[in-house]
Structure 1
Amino acid sequence: MNNEDFKSGFVAVIGRPNVGKSTLINSLIGQKVVIMSDKPQTTRNRIMCVLTQEDAQILFLDTPGIHKPKHRLGEYMVKAAENTLREVDLILFVVDASEGFGAGEEYILERLAQVKTPVFLVVNKVDKMSREDLFPIIKEYAAKREFSSVIPISALKKDNLECLVKEIKALLPEGPHYFPEDMVTDQPERLVIAELIREKVLHATREEIPHAIAVDIEEIKQRPNEDVYVRAVIYVERDSQKGIVIGARGALLKEIGKMARLDIEHLLGSKIFLDLWVKVKKDWRNKEGSLRSFGYD
């Protein structure tokens, strides 16, 4: 193919928390790059994921869910998402078809009204409803603003993703290979490992605990027996949360480690010895020094 025909560009994936943005990106890339959870507001950093095909390279920016912030971490997350809108070639506004239009969607549309970037409405989770029920939902969104394209999908089932990619490529400008073909994310290895561990904590714990959790990778080293030693600290905000994460006789922490180790081994392609610790850093979500130390600049 002539290099002049090659397309590339940046695509922001936005939407209310928990509409399936991370699931969509992982399905498009073909492997787990960003964490998934049934708990809202779990994506905290803007993560770039790279999809390279023969005729195009699409750089997806998985943003924290846009929501009304309740603490400084929340303010950081919303700012990261909103800043992205002005830096990209295209915006995918992902909505959950099974939940319909609400105040969260209205809040996002108000922000989209301030940008000139083309917007696709991506209606996710259509596998949960009939075509007859889907049409009124699409009609309701279309009445709110003009979208460059409206594409119903199921990120989990990978339904209609080829159509989505085709529509994206049609809109992107001609451009270069920004990243090598085998690269799927711009995030450093340590951050991806920390996020995989945090995902397992989210799955294993409940209620307010997940949002009080941060993970710091203190050490990664190759050992003489050829496995990789990873020491990670799970930070919580209160002593009571520490006890919950550890569990009775350390059972929950052991389960978290077991699940995380499998994902990290898949990521690194080698055996892992995962050394997990739990520590308390009181009220870290409202302290700028703590936010910076965990990579939320």
Structure 2
Amino acid sequence: MTTPYRAGHVAVIGRPNVGKSTLTNALVGAKVSIVSPRPQTTRHRLLGIATFPEGQLVLVDTPGLHRDQGKSTATAMHRWMNRAARGALEGVDVAALVVRAGQWDEADGFAYEALRGAGLPVVLVVNQVDRLKDKSALLPYLAQISEGREFAAVHPISALKRTGLQPLVKSVLSHLPEQDALYGEDEITDKSQRFLAGEMVREQLMRQLGEELPYATTVEIEQFEVDGALLRIGAVIWVERDGQKAIVIGKGGERLREIGAKARIQMERLFGSKVFLQTWVRVREGWSDDEAALRAFGYHD
């Protein structure tokens, strides 16, 4: 008897910086979602399409789900990201709640309650088990966080090292409807190359700048042209103040060149072609708390 093919949507949910994007990339087998050590690196809802012989997971990678702090303290950007995270629960078949091994706090509980409230089966994904110093603490930890909570399955994994992924895939697929693949076998995301190019630049901003500055930056792709075997890409990095512009450019333009060089390497890897990348830095005051600016920069509900 042949195993039926299953396909459906999987919300990848959790508090900020638990490895949701790393997990999405690991399952897809390609870098479709940017990654950095900083919380809230992911700003957009993004589909990662992971196709296997037995089924297809359409992974909805989202910004970290966190309590809305209210309009008095949250910027328009924060409100946008919370809407994107909550919107990921619409029309999905199962949720993967990602937590960091050895940790469970109020934010994890908040994410769990949001999923249960949506009536979704919740597969608990305990990430970064490779970082646990005391491996014997894992089973008591799993028992503790499962008590009083209803999980469809619990899977300890390391998304970075790609361990424990096969049982996770099998488990998640069991909750999806029997149907044909929703996307072609060669499709890995619903986002355009233009969008992904902007994300590759923004990833380097998140990785190379100080604590606060990355959150005051966004990237707009002004040029994306195919010139034979070459991609010509022009990226504008937007900041909120002149002082921030100077920091992004760096002494003699050194930092901007490094950001561009590393982003270009990532683009060439993902797109499979040579890239000529130009970058500029411009100022638009208060863009992150301006709904019109957010829409202009591609943050659409």
Give TM-score scaled by structure 2 length: 0.94
Structure 1 residue 170, shift from structure 2 partner: 1.7
Structure 2, unmatched stretches of 5+, are: 69-73
1:257-287 CA deviation, whole Å, 9 max, x = no partner? 1100111112222211101000111111111
User: 2:296 aligned with 1:289, yes or no?
Assistant: no
2:250 aligned partner: 247
Partners of 1:145 and 1:79 lie apart in 2 by 25
Partners of 1:108 and 1:58 lie apart in 2 by 21
1:45 aligned partner: 44
Structure 1 residue 126, shift from structure 2 partner: 0.5
Partners of 1:106 and 1:122 lie apart in 2 by 14
Structure 1 residue 137, shift from structure 2 partner: 2.1
Query: Residues 1-297 of structure 1 correspond to what in structure 2 (within 5 A)?
Result: 5-69=4-68, 70-98=74-102, 100-129=103-132, 130-223=134-227, 226-297=229-300
Structure 1 residue 125, shift from structure 2 partner: 0.6
CA root-mean-square deviation:
1.5
Partners of 1:234 and 1:176 lie apart in 2 by 41
1:148-194 CA deviation, whole Å, 9 max, x = no partner? 00110011111100110011112211012211100000001111110
Q: Which runs of 4+ in 1 moved over 6 A?
A: none
Structure 1 residue 144, shift from structure 2 partner: 4.1
Partners of 1:73 and 1:144 lie apart in 2 by 35
Partners of 2:184 and 2:140 lie apart in 1 by 43
Partners of 1:280 and 1:102 lie apart in 2 by 38
Indicate the SS of the match to 1:257. helix
Residue pair 2:5, 2:55 contacting (<8 A) in 1 also = yes
Report the residue type matching 2:272 in the other structure: G
Partners of 1:150 and 1:52 lie apart in 2 by 22
Indicate the SS of the match to 1:250. helix
Structure 1, unmatched stretches of 5+, are: none
1:42-81 CA deviation, whole Å, 9 max, x = no partner? 1011100101112211100001101234211111111111
Report the residue type matching 1:285 in the other structure: S
Structure 1 residue 136, shift from structure 2 partner: 2.6
**Cα pair distance change 1:275/1:151, threshold 3 Å:** same
Indicate the SS of the match to 1:58. strand
Partners of 1:283 and 1:16 lie apart in 2 by 26
Report the residue type matching 1:57 in the other structure: Q
Residue pair 2:97, 2:112 contacting (<8 A) in 1 also = no
Give TM-score scaled by structure 1 length: 0.95
Report the residue type matching 2:57 in the other structure: I
2:71 aligned partner: none
Indicate the SS of the match to 1:164. helix
Residue pair 1:86, 1:117 contacting (<8 A) in 2 also = no
Which region of structure 1 is more displaced relative to structure 2, 253-262 or 50-59? 50-59
Report the residue type matching 2:27 in the other structure: L
**Cα pair distance change 1:126/1:88, threshold 3 Å:** same
1:215-260 CA deviation, whole Å, 9 max, x = no partner? 0000111336x42211110011111111111111100000001100
Partners of 1:110 and 1:146 lie apart in 2 by 10
